[in-house]
Homo-oligomer: A and B are copies of this chain.
Amino acid sequence: MPSYKAPVKDMQFILHDVLKVSETGTPGYAELEPDFTGAVLQGAGKIASDVLAPLNPVGDKEGCLLENGVVRTPTGFKAAFDQVRGGGWTALDQPERYGGQNMPYIMYTAVGEISSAANQAFTMYQGLTHGAASAILAHGSERQKDTYLPRMTSCEWTGTMNLTEPHCGTDLGLMRTRAVPQDDGSYKITGQKIFISSGEHDMADNIIHLVLAKIPGGPDGIKGVSLFIVPKVLVNENGSLGARNGVACGKLEDKMGIHGNSTCVMNYDEATGYLLGTEHTGRRAMFTMMNEARIGVGMQGVAQAEVAYQNARAYAKDRLQGRDATGVKNPKGPADPLIVHPDIRRALLDQKSFVEGARAFLLWGSQMIDQSHRGGDAAAEGIVSLLTPIIKGFLTDEGFDMTIRAQQIYGGHGYIEDWGMSQFARDARIAMIYEGANGVQALDLVGRKLSQDGGKHVMAFFEIVKSFIKKNEGNEALKADFLDPLKAASKDLQQAAMYFMQHGMKNPNAALAGSYDFMHLFGHVCLGLMWAQMAKAAQEGIQAGDGDAGFYQSKIKTGRYYMARRLPATAMHLARIQSGADPVMDLEDAAF
């Protein structure tokens, strides 16, 4: 059975050596001293290793079961959820007013990675609740907040997001679910929603569904969409639970993975709903959930890659097969461990250099969210808005690929479910799809984010890269291995953006045909920047002389691998982009 151990030391390195969080002046960050964050991460790691990880294969094997409208979660899930709730882990970054601990979002991301790595399907029950609570916090009335948030913070009640319908996912303007206004100010919601994660289950007293629907007579398309709070059980004036609402799970989906999470078809039959925010502004409220969810999904990609890597690494050190081509390394054994073979190391380093770079990227993004939400920093908000589709799309594509590489190291055993490597890949696969399929992320990046506010945010990003390179140009130890490749990759990115500017106005398809490559090109530049920053921090750590020099060295070596072996992808993506729209658009539809 696979195991998991939270990478606390790696996380602490990013928080304190690289981002130096407690010195940034971001509101709430002063308390993020190494001892404090270390204790939080260790605590999360303990529950993850002891409770959540052992339940991961259980959830995969048992799945959820729908019987007479009740969804039974896998054995052990409820007890584990009680333990997580009881430990306050669901309240980490919520406002104190509603029972939360008011920690910064960066801590929610770090703890979320630990929990997701141990058990993604389980963690989703809480993750969806967090997203729904954030939407209520941002758009709800005081009364709504007081009614729902305390019990969603504690996860006594969980939450969901109801967007997709059978005939529409990305194109929500086609939505058919209707919300008919009632005299008492509430609405009657009728329609069917699909792919509703955690839509129905036996772990909470109530489930607060946030449902997108159209009010008859409103504007066409996405502009006519509003967001509603639809509790599974209606809540009385005094906060006690009342009658069951007109909402039910019609079916559980049989999925490739995340079997432990209940993916529901939800049927709304004149269910009572309460408008969240104002009429016809559902799209905005939805994006409050979606943008948060997209960071969370990017985090899932990293989390599955991390746990898959941990196990692949252990297997590669343990499994004896073949001999080192340069000389026997384990003369007492019948063969050398797999890790002596260069191609096994290549596969492991792909994983390690991705996971560590991606984690830095995620935490940097989370820091900017804190700067924006807590500090009102509009520049940070702009950059993180630009980077969100990359965090979601690039990190989940790569994260999935890394679980495949990890599985591959096991040879035939990787294909056998008992070993658990298949589950990591199957679970990671969904992250490329939900919260906007990765092609939609690429479209969002190229079609919207790149030119947002006159291209200000992408210019700000380039400025960050440029000023890092400039500031360190005298640093000989960084130059050849880190700064030069980063400069070259960043230049590829600039040329790609230039290509879009020059050709995209005349022909949008010239940009859109390259959108997916652009997302990956940009992702590599981001991870290259992270590795350059990590290498610098590791250098400083070595120079300071009071840390674990071997650990710092391993960061520099891992980063060097990323720069030498992964960054060359940027030139390929640029070449593809510059081949333009014709190769993509020329073939008639009928000829496919």
Contact = CB atoms under 8 A, between A and B. Distances in A.
A317 B439 CA distance: 17
Contact of A411 (B169, B407, B509, B558): B169
Contacts of A438: 408
Nearest to A581: B342
A179 B169 CA distance: 60
Contact of A408 (B164, B437, B589): B437
Contacts of A352: 592
Interface stretch (A32-40, A99-107, A210-218, A422-430): A422-430
Given A417-B255, A592-B348, A561 B583 contact: yes
A326 interface: yes
A487 to B, nearest CB: 15
Given A321-B171, A589-B317, A591-B554, A416 B254 contact: yes
A508 interface: yes
Contacts of A561: 583-584, 586-587
B194 A412 contact: yes
A340 B513 CA distance: 11
A242 interface: no
Nearest to A422: B256
Contacts of A433: 408, 411-412, 414-415
A477 interface: no
State how many copies of this chain the complex holds. 2
Interface centre among A170, A321, A414, A415 (most CB of B within 10 A): A415
Interface in A445-459: 447
A370 B164 CA distance: 53
B313 A584 contact: no
Contacts of A585: 342, 345
B437 A411 contact: yes
A477 to B, nearest CB: 15
A115 to B, nearest CB: 21
Given A411-B437, A438-B408, A509 B430 contact: no
A576 B564 contact: yes
A346 B584 contact: yes
Nearest to A195: B412
Contacts of A235: none
A411 B592 CA distance: 19
Interface stretch (A124-132, A145-153, A567-575): A567-575
B592 A516 contact: no
Nearest to A410: B433
A79 interface: no
A161 to B, nearest CB: 13
A185 interface: no
A392 interface: no
Interface in A11-35: none
A418 interface: yes
Given A321-B170, A341-B512, A516-B346, A587 B564 contact: no
Nearest to A507: B326
Contacts of A416: 253-256
Interface residues of A, number: 97
A33 to B, nearest CB: 27
Interface string A57-78: 0000000000000000000000
A170 B411 contact: yes
A248 interface: no
Interface centre among A411, A516, A557 (most CB of B within 10 A): A411
Contact of A254 (B348, B418, B509): B418
A572 B568 contact: yes
A587 B432 contact: no
B592 A334 contact: no
Contacts of A335: 171, 173-174
Contacts of A564: 576, 579, 583
A443 interface: yes
Interface in A69-101: none
Nearest to A418: B254
Interface string A327-351: 0000000110101111111111100
Nearest to A563: B583
A52 B121 CA distance: 34
A466 interface: no
A322 interface: yes
Interface centre among A515, A584, A585 (most CB of B within 10 A): A584
A192 to B, nearest CB: 14
A168 interface: yes
Interface string A237-263: 000000000000000011111000000
18 contacts: A169-B321, A254-B417, A254-B418, A256-B416, A326-B509, A341-B439, A342-B509, A343-B515, A344-B439, A346-B513, A347-B439, A347-B516, A415-B433, A557-B583, A561-B584, A565-B583, A565-B584, A568-B576
Given A254-B417, A346-B584, 19 more contacts: A167-B320, A256-B416, A325-B447, A325-B508, A339-B592, A342-B515, A343-B515, A345-B585, A407-B429, A414-B433, A554-B587, A561-B586, A564-B579, A565-B576, A565-B583, A568-B575, A568-B576, A571-B572, A571-B575
Nearest 8 A/B pairs, CB to CB: A568-B575, A554-B591, A564-B579, A256-B422, A342-B512, A342-B513, A325-B508, A572-B572
